[in-house]
Amino acid sequence: MRRPFIAANWKMHKSPLEAESFAAAFLPLVEKVTSVDVAIAPPFPALERLGRALARSPVALAAQNVNAEEQGAFTGEVAPGMLVAVGCRYAIVGHSERRTLYAESDAMVAAKAAALLAHDVLPIVCVGESLEQREADRTLQVIETQLAGSLASIPKERAAEIVVAYEPIWAIGTGKTATPEMAQEVHAMIRERLGDLFGAAGAEIRIQYGGSVKPDNVAELMSQTDIDGALVGGASLEPESFAQIVNRAGGSA
């Protein structure tokens, strides 16, 4: 019912030319995978060139951030319409690096997600707890608050189109993955809350796991009931490892 969805988050890596070379190497490696949605989120300057390289492929283009405003005096920011103009299908919002390093609040994330949807760019809304919060047994409470705040402006009738990414902060870029059971526990709670917020659409929303996803752990993570895909950082930077993740998510070795 929910189509698996694997997205690459390149963070602040790769020039336009490097992004284009990546596409040339990557696309033939995932040609046979038809059961998985795939997206790549490069830095802003690489969007247009990567978009051209992906144009005749099923791999979608995604942004890593957006501003909620339409246009105006917002130095350094990028508007939703600009993402549409270069062909973005998705945009990541509320990544923990944005929340912690750039002080993004749930309210800001909510405004961004709603602005994206209004432009038919599908938001990938990230939530996740810190190590300190997990150790204090506050994980579920933290995630619940982030969800309620970050999804507050999503119209119910469009809720099924959004994507939620659960990324425990302590697992990002550290090599420490949540065990499939630990991740499923949080994903199940997220699913329940999505049901409370959006009714039947809650069962249709794809929930990705993120945090040190690699070719050798993706299949086990995705075998869990409420894990519908992955948001991949480090292991998405090489065409071979990202292609392996996509292939394994699609059920082949």
| By the rule CB under 6 A, 180 interacts with ligand PGA | no
| By the rule CB under 6 A, 211 interacts with ligand PGA | yes
- Least distance to ligand PGA from the beta carbon of 177, Å? 8
| By the rule CB under 6 A, 167 interacts with ligand PGA | yes
| By the rule CB under 6 A, 173 interacts with ligand PGA | yes
- Least distance to ligand PGA from the beta carbon of 187, Å? 16
| By the rule CB under 6 A, 172 interacts with ligand PGA | yes
| By the rule CB under 6 A, 128 interacts with ligand PGA | no
**For residue 77, how far is the Cα from the chain centroid?**
20
Distance CA 165, CA 110 (A): 14
- Least distance to ligand PGA from the beta carbon of 96, Å? 7
**For residue 157, how far is the Cα from the chain centroid?**
21
List the catalytic residues: 95, 167
CA angle 188-189-190, nearest 5°? 90
Q: Give the residues across from 62 on adjacent strands.
A: 90
Amino acid, res. 215: P
Looking at residues 221 to 240 of the shown chain, list those that interact with ligand PGA (rule: CB under 6 A): 231-235
Q: Which of 153, 102, 107, 145 is nearest to 127 (CA)?
A: 145
| By the rule CB under 6 A, 212 interacts with ligand PGA | yes
Strand 88-93, strand 122-127: pairing: parallel
By CB under 6 A, name the binding residues for ligand PGA: 9, 167, 172-173, 210-213, 231-235
